[in-house]
Amino acid sequence: MSNDYWDRCTKKNPCPECGKGDWCSVSTDGKWACCQRTPEGAVKQTEGGYLHLLRDDKGGGRCSPHHRAYRISSQEISEAHVERFTALAEKYQHNLTSKRCQDYAQSLGVSPESLRQLGVGYVGYDRYAWPMCDAEGRIIGIRIRTSKGKYCVRGSKTGLFLPQPISPHDPLLIVEGNTDCASGLSFGLASVGRPSCTGGTDILLKVCRGRGICIIADSDTPGQVGAIRLAEKLSICCPSVKVITPPQGIKDLRRWLALGLTKEGLREVISSTAPIMLEVA
């Protein structure tokens, strides 16, 4: 491998695979990592280490099945698994300096404090780590977000983007995705992010029990359908469940925030929205 094609990993830009700041390298186009320590999931072994594909030729997230998140019940998640992902998340959080946190928050249009509440960390080379949690707040997986796409750390289990701490008393916003969750927290409102428009339902039923809920649905069809289905299930265990959608032409909460939505404006929309009524046959 030509040295002109590779950048050495450093403490500021650690290896995306092992998280270390020495011995490993990343290709200058950001497509490949050559890790000295991690054979699992590698495309092949070379003289310089284990070669890992970071993104496909279209610039998207990883295509390897090793980097998908898997659904699994909480009973099947071992303490060793939780310990591994907790340690990995803490390592990435240590890499997220105050300056980098501020810059990343500004690029997303959210507050730095919201990123800290969600335990966001920095992997290196434009890769940011967002922990996913179970109902008890244990870290069971990590989603990596880049400017080109997103993928999950190998072995991740699907969970919620759950801030710490989260008030047990305030009404809870449920949104789709990690950056929308950061947007809700930027308003100073208790917020939880689903991993997708249909994901995390079983965990949400435990987190939301007994609380007032407001689901902010993405404006696309999958987002609307997913929100209504979740609302119907939560209505059984929550005293009040509301569903709101951003105004026409605005896809999600983060975009709504960028276009000038204020905390007072959001509270007004929520208060003027009637709870859904569960029809009993």
Q: Where are the beta strands (DSSP E) in the chain?
A: 6-8, 25-27, 32-35, 44-46, 49-53, 121-122, 128-133, 139-145, 150-152, 172-176, 191-194, 212-216, 240-244
pTM given for the model: 0.75
Per-residue pLDDT tens digits of the chain, which is 281 residues long: 445 578 888 877 788 777 788 888 888 777 788 888 887 667 788 877 888 877 644 444 443 333 455 454 445 788 888 999 999 999 999 999 999 999 999 999 999 999 999 999 999 878 999 999 999 999 999 999 988 788 888 888 999 999 987 877 778 999 999 999 999 999 999 999 999 988 999 999 999 999 999 999 999 999 999 999 999 999 999 999 999 999 999 999 999 999 999 999 999 999 999 998 765 44
